[in-house]
Structure 1
Amino acid sequence: MSVNGIPHQVITSVQTRKETEPIYFLPYERTPGLKLDNVLIVGAGTGTDVAIALSQGARHVDAVEIDPEIYRLGQQLNPERPYRDPRVSVHIDDGRAFVQRTDQRYNLVIFALPDSLTLVSGQSSLRLESYLFTREAMSRVRGLLQPDGVFGMYNFYRASWLVDRLATTLQVVYGRPPCVESVGNFGHEALFLAGQSPTAVVCPSTWKATTRFTQPATDNEPFLYLKQRGIPALYLKTLLAILAVALLAVWLYAGRLRRGRQYADLFFMGAAFLLLETKSVVQFALLFGTTWLVNALVFAGVLLAVLGAVEVSRRVTFRRPGWLYLWLLIALGISWAVPPDTLLRFGPPLRFAVAVTLAGTPIFLANLAFAQRFKDVATSATAFGLNLLGAILGGALEYSALVVGYRALALFAAALYGLAFLFGRRHLRRGVPARG
């Protein structure tokens, strides 16, 4: 089975898998005597990992798979029929979201090759599984383990520094080096095991770093596959090329840029708004999972905030629009001051309400300020062109998160709105009678 044109999974029987890829069985062989009353498998795929757990004596398995089509194929084609076994509970959900939400305790938790081969959205640098491998996620998984419980994960790791990063993360969480075994040479297939107890895993050899120390990924910087903090050269070249083409297009079709100096504030508004949108996508991905439904709800919320601001501006003209910037900066400050992971302690309804408030308030106020400004422009084509160019800059600035993390985007947006206020002061000082 291929995903996005890339070979992804092969459906086989348990016996065939044992003969061809014994690494799938090592979590059970390295934990003799471990009771398998309750097992969690994240990245259940077409069901082979679930079938293996059942063959090893698991009494109950929670199988988490984010893609309903992959689950459907496994249900129909897997020769072991694991998804039809009464001992299996299937959850079509994001792995991190399930881990945060469940109150179950497990004897064994396995991350079974969770590799999405795709991004969450063009609005961010996240992959679907990014939040599964952060320090905070691993800490949460440890909290789900029984006193004798064990965590394991296996995948193909094509770089030794990536193995070291994951092993370092487990060492930080469990307080001791994990058991790391490599099986075969192709693709660096490796297994990580870490137990609540130091004696929970029979380990042939504990992990020792082979590369320079690599920091664990975090919820603020969930870039597992970024070797060093920074923006890759390929990204920089591509972004500069996009900005150059956009600048040329605006210069040609929206009037010469000198004519647009009076609309510099709209340029900064465009850049700041794209950062707000990106931050919202990333924050909701952490809080509710990296599913397409969550992304759709985020974008729907952004559009509703835009529509609401437009409708308010159509009916009301503010005497002192400068106050909108003050309230906007306060909202951004609150959004930055509240770490997203603190919201994970709340139940889903309260978490959703708080998240919508924290993310939606700045977006609504930003669009209210924009709508108040744009309805007074003399040359709408030039003004919109500058705003569009700013939006492209904001899309490029999103990649600064690779250096400073996603929380800092709120500060960048605040700085850009501050510049918009400074460059638009002449407009803001004009007294306009309020109308309703």
Structure 2
Amino acid sequence: MLRDAPAASGTIYAFDLAGAATGGLLGYLAIGTLGDQALYGLASALCLVAATLFIRPSASRIGLRRVTTIGAAVGLVAMLGVWGELLAPPRPGPLKSTGADLAEGMTRDIARWDPLARVDVMRFGSRGDSIHYAFLIDPSYPTESRPPALAMELDMGALTPIIGMSSPSDLAVLDASVLGAPYELAARSNVLVIGPGGGIDVMTALRHGARSVTAVEVNRAVVALMRGRYAEYSGEVYADTRVHLVEDEARSFVRRSADRYDLVVMTVVDSFAALSSGAYALTESYLYTQEAMADYLAHLAPGGSLSVGRWYRDPPVEIVRTFKIAVAGLTALGKSNPETHIAVLRYGNFGLLLIGDRAFGAADVERLRGFASRHGFELAYDPLHPGEPFMSSVEETPATDDRPFFFDTVPLSAVLSGRADLPYGYGILFSALVLALALGIGLAVLPIYAQARRASGRAVPPGTVTSIAIGLGFIATELVLLQRLTLYLGQPSLALAVGIAALLGGAACGSAVSSRIRGGPRLPALLSAVGLLLTLALLPIVTDATLAGPLLVRVGIALVAATLVGLPLGSVFPNVVSQVGATDPSLVTWVWAVNGTASVVGAILATGLALAVGFTGLGTAAVICYGLAALSTADLKRFRLRGDAIAELPTLAP
């Protein structure tokens, strides 16, 4: 299409971008209703419909073919929606530890999707409910006195228990839980629970006398299940008059809240079982950064504590990294000797960090030691006698909001020097890069390179550098914008839907008017570079100033900001296509292939760059890409001038 009508490239590209923006919103809105299989079916059906529209109208049975194709598409969506779970059951990754691995006879009671995650609730079989209590409850506590429990599983990798409560006395089991440690230090009347899930932290707070519990849960499916299907089973814990359940993301809620809490609790949120393998090294988590820790600690009442539960395996990488960001957060708040504000309890593979508003004294440590001794736990880090492996982590760089890779436990320098093996996540990234390069070059670039070289008379056809720079810069901009809006809106899936849809929508508008821009792609590329610089500088100021506003207001600001960023970006590449096509339409295919390959490869390269230098560094790289695109347009202009000169030469009669 672009080759046949390069002058209409702006309009064609605008519809392409608008379709992508609509698809992003459609996925966000439809996944809760359709589920993943039917959503895949819908995507396939739309592709079938698009293919049908290209059937030549000269065919005699065109109407029948289109009706048949559309009918097949609708049938595909319906089939996958009804039988998708049977036809293509979800398979967890090889390193995920699912309920099926943990207990024999475990069966799925229900499965729900929301834009954030898949939620499964599992029932235990012959081995009973002891698996949940293995990491949390005094091993000597009588098995027959433990109430039943269900397993709530998020994305087949993170478990949270739903304790069955037939009477208030069932909560007595929580007196022997390691989660009760912070209540040994002081009365906790006002408690904030981050990521309450199945409710065990809320139950623990109520059991220990809390008069007010604010529970902040980001997953709507979890809230719906706990208020609906499993409300009676869990003793109506979320309907208790002392409990205030908030559907929100923790960082966003905390930064907007003016309240102070006696205790803030966050137990194995983002619980990735495969952490030790490095499988989640590429995963961002804004709950475990230096700034996040400072936010939580700043909302403690005098004498309050922050309780953070994480896995404590050997080697204790995860718990030590949590200790590191706790020290960084305390330091950011001006606390001297921050290591004296932290105590760590351990039970098996589970660790609990207690971080105090004030330094722990001898009496505090004695109470914790006594609590641990009574229940078979261990005081793994004594704030009065700091020791390894925790103290060695203090000199390392903690995860930050700009580089929020808490699960990236192996520095790239250690891998390159041979001091550490390549983490699983890095292996995936490298494999994806090799595969993307091989497929992009082998299927898109090489098959048309010879034709492009002959048409231009150059080893590097005109528009190559410009198209590569645009592809890399656009995808880098998407990732940076998504990161900024995730913190602002608080919900990653909402930030993805709103931010990317608005960016692509703005780019579609820019593409639609690109034909009115004179002088080719240089001006749009320069405007894109300047716009990105302004975004990097001004967006944090705007978001900080409006963070306390209602969600709808913040969504509106995000829409405007992302649209403004997208406007100049969308007008760059159509100008490249129209300028190349005006001289030699055969080169349009070349610049499109090069740009598309750069976009795919760029998504992988951008992830690696964000890991190495953070998102501000990635944003700077996007600015450089558009600056390079502006500079390289001089080559396009020379090529077009040469084409115009050749066209004006007189034709000699034979």
TM (norm. structure 2) is 0.59
Aligned 8 A contact 1:41 1:61 in 2:
yes
- Give, in whole Å, the separation in 2 of the partners of 1:54 and 1:170: 26
Choose 59-68 or 156-165, whichever is displaced more: 156-165
1:385 aligns with 2:593: yes
Match of residue 262 from structure 1: 462
**Cα offset, 1:405, TM superposition:** 0.5
Q: Give the secondary structure class of the aligned counterpart of 2:347.
A: coil
- Give, in whole Å, the separation in 2 of the partners of 1:413 and 1:224: 24
**Cα offset, 1:217, TM superposition:** 0.8
Of the three residues 141, 166, 169, the one matched with 2:296 is 141
1:372 aligns with 2:575: yes
Choose 380-389 or 210-219, whichever is displaced more: 210-219
**Cα offset, 1:39, TM superposition:** 1.1
Choose 342-351 or 174-183, whichever is displaced more: 342-351
Of the three residues 486, 497, 513, the one matched with 1:312 is 513
Match of residue 173 from structure 1: 329
**Cα offset, 1:299, TM superposition:** 1.9
Give the aligned residue type for 1:172.
A
Match of residue 418 from structure 1: 627
Match of residue 8 from structure 1: 159
**Cα offset, 1:81, TM superposition:** 1.7
Q: 1:328 to 1:291 in 2, by over 3 A?
A: closer
1:288 aligns with 2:453: no
Aligned 8 A contact 1:335 1:410 in 2:
no
**Cα offset, 1:325, TM superposition:** 2.6
Aligned 8 A contact 1:18 1:25 in 2:
no
Q: 1:97 to 1:307 in 2, by over 3 A?
A: same
- Give, in whole Å, the separation in 1 of the partners of 2:530 and 2:218: 37
Alignment coverage as a number of residue pairs: 418
- Give, in whole Å, the separation in 2 of the partners of 1:154 and 1:133: 12
Give the aligned residue type for 1:424.
T
- Give, in whole Å, the separation in 1 of the partners of 2:311 and 2:172: 16
1:195 aligns with 2:356: yes
Aligned 8 A contact 1:220 1:405 in 2:
yes
CA RMSD of aligned residues (A): 2.9
Choose 98-107 or 403-412, whichever is displaced more: 98-107
Of the three residues 249, 256, 267, the one matched with 1:101 is 256
Q: 1:394 to 1:331 in 2, by over 3 A?
A: same
Aligned 8 A contact 2:163 2:198 in 1:
no
Aligned 8 A contact 1:157 1:190 in 2:
yes
**Cα offset, 1:197, TM superposition:** 1.9
1:363 aligns with 2:572: no
Aligned 8 A contact 1:96 1:132 in 2:
yes
Choose 62-71 or 339-348, whichever is displaced more: 339-348
Match of residue 317 from structure 2: 161
1:238 aligns with 2:439: no
Q: 1:428 to 1:334 in 2, by over 3 A?
A: farther
Match of residue 329 from structure 1: 529
**Cα offset, 1:151, TM superposition:** 1.0
Of the two, which has the highest radius of gyration? 2
Q: Give the secondary structure class of the aligned counterpart of 1:407.
A: helix
Of the three residues 277, 283, 287, the one matched with 2:478 is 277
**Cα offset, 1:278, TM superposition:** 0.8
- Give, in whole Å, the separation in 2 of the partners of 1:5 and 1:239: 26
Give the aligned residue type for 1:73.
L
- Give, in whole Å, the separation in 1 of the partners of 2:177 and 2:298: 28
Aligned 8 A contact 1:13 1:48 in 2:
no
Aligned 8 A contact 1:61 1:87 in 2:
yes
Match of residue 434 from structure 1: none
**Cα offset, 1:291, TM superposition:** 3.6
The CA deviation string for residues 299-332 of structure 1, in whole angstroms up to 9 with x for no partner, is: 2112211221122124x13246423233222222
- State the 4+ residue runs in structure 1 displaced beyond 6 angstroms: none
- Give, in whole Å, the separation in 2 of the partners of 1:320 and 1:383: 15
Q: 1:20 to 1:147 in 2, by over 3 A?
A: closer
TM (norm. structure 1) is 0.86
- Give, in whole Å, the separation in 2 of the partners of 1:219 and 1:302: 22
Aligned 8 A contact 1:135 1:219 in 2:
yes
- Give, in whole Å, the separation in 1 of the partners of 2:364 and 2:226: 32
1:401 aligns with 2:610: yes
Q: 1:55 to 1:132 in 2, by over 3 A?
A: same
**Cα offset, 1:136, TM superposition:** 0.7
Q: Give the secondary structure class of the aligned counterpart of 2:163.
A: coil
Choose 8-17 or 240-249, whichever is displaced more: 8-17
- Give, in whole Å, the separation in 2 of the partners of 1:224 and 1:17: 35
**Cα offset, 1:354, TM superposition:** 6.1
Q: 1:74 to 1:209 in 2, by over 3 A?
A: farther
1:214-229 equivalence runs, <5 A: 214-229=396-411
- Give, in whole Å, the separation in 1 of the partners of 2:497 and 2:544: 21
Give the aligned residue type for 2:611.
L
Q: Give the secondary structure class of the aligned counterpart of 1:183.
A: strand
Match of residue 50 from structure 1: 202
Runs of at least 5 residues in structure 1 that lack an aligned partner in the other structure: 119-123, 432-436
**Cα offset, 1:9, TM superposition:** 2.1
Q: 1:333 to 1:109 in 2, by over 3 A?
A: same
Aligned 8 A contact 1:334 1:358 in 2:
no
- Give, in whole Å, the separation in 2 of the partners of 1:137 and 1:160: 22
Runs of at least 5 residues in structure 2 that lack an aligned partner in the other structure: 1-151, 274-280, 370-381, 416-421, 455-459, 642-654
- Give, in whole Å, the separation in 1 of the partners of 2:477 and 2:350: 39
